Structure 1
Amino acid sequence: MLLGFTFSLKISIGGRKASSRRKRKEGMRDAPRTPLFLEFMDREMKHVRRRCRQSTCDNYMTARRSFAAFLGGADIPLREVTPQLVSRYSQWLSSRGVSLNTSSCYMRSLRAMYNAAAVKHRIRRCSPFSAVFTGNVPTRKRALGEAEMRRIGIADVEEDTVRSWARDVFMFCFYAMGMPFADAMLLRKSRVRDGTITYLRRKTGREVTVGIEPCMERIMRKYAGGDADYVFPVPTGDRFPGGKGYARLLKCYNAALKVLSRDVGLCLPLTSYVARHTWASLAYRRNVPLHVIAQALGHSSPRVTMTYIRELDGSTVRRANKKIIRGFTSATSVQ
């Protein structure tokens, strides 16, 4: 009798253990998988494109590619995005000559994606980006003077080359009230009408109207026989809305401008931003009101415009100070 009871007890206990193991396995299958960070970014980007500006999407994609390169092409669970890992990524960027501002842009994009993933999957955040730089450092002066712009405009550049195309686009962007390079490349011929150019800024969506001057018309006429839809041809062979073509095109443009600046003998290397900053700086020096400059650049506020002209050389301020001191001393001498 006792033997039968013992046997029944073993069966009962064994059944409960098997049932418990089965429940644990089922629980493991039902438990949500820890999300992979890059996989989450890829899914989230589909929603980001619908609610964010194109420039924001571009920043996210660039940061994603950089972080994936740091990881060697592998993906990691969200919980493994730790302060130590982010710190190593920051050092990795620095060792490859990435500037602080560019590194900061990557970190802010990755931080936004990390926070979104942590909220969506209810993961306790550990602030992995709190110890790395996410601010902005002042950049070097990026505006040219009138004499330097004239040297670029009259430079002897071999026609039908990438360098001549880059020079023409650069001068056109300057003449067109500092039109951004991306907007010049996406400028359709249908936007040129009745002596004006009306375009929507790719970055902000704001409409800008530019009166066509003879110098601009000469450049546009030079490329009139090219692309059927766009004002300027693209040397790299592809347009870039929603694709990777923009990074390739911008690299080609800046490389050609760098060679051009050496040929012309400029101390400041030319980049796609210089034409825009130069127009804003020269307009400000000629006492064009700040709100007019802001409208020409397509800025939402004159405060944004100040970032373009705050790097003016000290000569303007020194001249203003001389006027004040001269007026003060002359009044004092009369007394």
Structure 2
Amino acid sequence: MNRYNESPIFPAAAAIKPAQVLPSRVSLSAALWWNISLKEDGGHSRTAANYLSSLGAVRAYLGGEFDRFPLSGVTPAWVEGYASWLRSRHASSAATAEFYFRNFRVMCRRYWRLACASLPGGRDPFAGIAFHVRPASKRALPRESLARLLDPGLRARLTEREGESLDVLHFILFTRGMAFQDVWNLRHDMVGDDGHIRYRRSKTGAPIDVLVTAEAAALMERHRRCGSPWVFPFLHDFRRVERAAPGDRNREPSEESSLKRVNRHALSIGRLAGLPIPLTTYVMRHTWATLMQEAGYSVELIGQCLGHTSEETTRIYLSGISRGSVDRAVDDMLDRLVRPYAQGGPKGKRASDSQVKRRHRKKDTPAGGTERPARKGRVLPEEGATEPRNAQCAVNKDSGGGQEGCAREKKCLFLAKKGTLLPHRFPHKLFGDKSNSYQPNMQIIHKICFIYNCIISRLSRSVDT
């Protein structure tokens, strides 16, 4: 029984049945308190706290009429007035106004649905009312920054309490991005003999099975405390907070207060490590999801590990943290397909070795306009063209062979200048696509050509003799 169940209108939320207990005619305050009680009894304390904040916003809007205002009075015109009041009251923070309005809408719709009550005015009073809020981008640590956070030397620069919070951050990373609320609720009896942690996610109730990695096992063993069922007992130890009132030092802290303490330490750790973004427990969860996505794993697998109830939720979740990977992919495409052909390329961008080789293979004329001279001692015929016999004679004549060289070629036609029989550059049609004509197996072909040329040289000397 919690403090919200003290309301004389409703019993415990677990005993409430739709359309049998919930009256259709009820005050707005009673309907909102019932929603808070429902979440409290279900173990969703964070959601109940959010609902309580939204109830306070409605109370501030209605003033002294809050306790007497009927739920049927939530008409489209009234909702529009309340939304306008929220926009003006929180003009500098549209996200805050949207937060209060969204929770209030959820509570009203849930009560109407479970009580089978008719909607005021015959239609949904919240339809068509929206707050234009810029979505907050979920941030994740890049791999270079993650290396700083995992550096063993970082722990030596932290206090004892900051070191404990660092272990929580590492544990989240090595347990598939486990949410902090589940870390706070984690007990040793949830770890099976097969080395798996089995639990239900606090937010969605989805069953999750996590393999205890070597890193996670070391962290769990480091903080094992005799007589404590918790994996991280310091999260439940209120005596560590000196500012607590004397009567509260023996009371177990809430999950919310523990989260605030860990995040406060995480910000200090992030600044000390020189991280580019503020470090929190959710940043570690986002970092794990980002690394899984960049490694090429499916959205379905990532959502299952995160405890999402639908694949669409995972897609929305990943869409806000994948900007870095998209930027790197686009930049990589420009490096491979666009910048090699740009005049000079952008300043500061260096072409890869394969790009440089491809540039040298081209037969374009230099910038000065003069044609590149042919390599001495080797004739490279154009692809698909055959060299006339008189041209071969002319080549031999220029090289000092005269008519004797031509006669020798007539006598033994397969003897020619080195490279004319087996050109150094093979026709691309032997290999299909031109881009794939220079593969590693060309080394074997060049060795065969070398052996063949040696045989030809031996035969040419024997013909001369």
Give 1:202's aligned residue.
202
Q: Deviations over 1:230-256 (max 9, x none)?
A: 111226739xxxx99233333222222
Instruction: Give the direction of change, closer, same or farther, for the CA distance of 1:201–1:43 in structure 2 (3 Å limit).
Output: closer
Could you tell me how far 1:269 is from its partner in structure 2? 0.9
Instruction: Please tell me whether the aligned partners of residues 226 and 232 of structure 1 are also in contact (alpha carbons under 8 angstroms).
Output: no
Instruction: Give the direction of change, closer, same or farther, for the CA distance of 1:332–1:322 in structure 2 (3 Å limit).
Output: farther
Could you tell me how far 1:133 is from its partner in structure 2? 3.5
* Pairing 1:268–2:263 present: no
**TM-score, normalisation: structure 2:** 0.53
- What amino acid maps onto 1:112 in structure 2? V
Give 1:185's aligned residue.
184
Instruction: Please tell me whether the aligned partners of residues 138 and 286 of structure 2 are also in contact (alpha carbons under 8 angstroms).
Output: no
Give 1:230's aligned residue.
230
* Pairing 1:114–2:93 present: no
Instruction: Please tell me whether the aligned partners of residues 70 and 92 of structure 1 are also in contact (alpha carbons under 8 angstroms).
Output: no
Trace 1:32-43 onto structure 2 (pairs within 5 A).
35-43=26-34
State the alpha-carbon separation in 2 of the partners of residues 249 and 72 from structure 1.
Answer: 34
State the alpha-carbon separation in 1 of the partners of residues 294 and 85 from structure 2.
Answer: 45
Match of 1:148 among 145, 148, 154: 145
Could you tell me how far 1:277 is from its partner in structure 2? 0.9
**TM-score, normalisation: structure 1:** 0.71
Q: Deviations over 1:78-131 (max 9, x none)?
A: 438553233223332345x5x61x542321221233346678676735976567
Could you tell me how far 1:205 is from its partner in structure 2? 1.4
Trace 1:123-142 onto structure 2 (pairs within 5 A).
124-125=120-121, 129=126, 133-134=130-131, 137-142=134-139
RMSD of aligned alpha carbons: 3.9
In structure 1, runs of 5+ residues without a counterpart are 1-31
State the alpha-carbon separation in 2 of the partners of residues 89 and 244 from structure 1.
Answer: 33
Give 2:172's aligned residue.
173
Instruction: Give the direction of change, closer, same or farther, for the CA distance of 1:322–1:214 in structure 2 (3 Å limit).
Output: same
Give 1:7's aligned residue.
none
State the alpha-carbon separation in 2 of the partners of residues 291 and 123 from structure 1.
Answer: 37
Trace 1:231-246 onto structure 2 (pairs within 5 A).
231-233=231-233, 234=235, 237=238, 245-246=254-255
Q: Deviations over 1:29-76 (max 9, x none)?
A: xxx9x8543333113434566789776545423422454466679835
- What amino acid maps onto 1:148 in structure 2? S
Instruction: Please tell me whether the aligned partners of residues 208 and 298 of structure 1 are also in contact (alpha carbons under 8 angstroms).
Output: yes
State the alpha-carbon separation in 2 of the partners of residues 202 and 141 from structure 1.
Answer: 21
State the alpha-carbon separation in 2 of the partners of residues 257 and 153 from structure 1.
Answer: 13
Q: Deviations over 1:194-238 (max 9, x none)?
A: 322222111111222222222212211221017711111226739
Give the share of equivalent positions with the same residue, in percent.
25
In structure 2, runs of 5+ residues without a counterpart are 1-22, 240-251, 342-357, 359-432, 437-465
State the alpha-carbon separation in 1 of the partners of residues 207 and 311 from structure 2.
Answer: 16
Give 2:327's aligned residue.
315
State the alpha-carbon separation in 2 of the partners of residues 301 and 116 from structure 1.
Answer: 21
Give 1:104's aligned residue.
98
Instruction: Please tell me whether the aligned partners of residues 237 and 253 of structure 2 are also in contact (alpha carbons under 8 angstroms).
Output: no
Higher helix share: 1
> How many correspondences in the alignment?
294
Deviates more, 1:163-172 or 1:84-93: 84-93
Structure scoring higher RCO (CA < 8 A, sep ≥ 6) equals: 1
Could you tell me how far 1:176 is from its partner in structure 2? 0.5
Give 2:458's aligned residue.
none
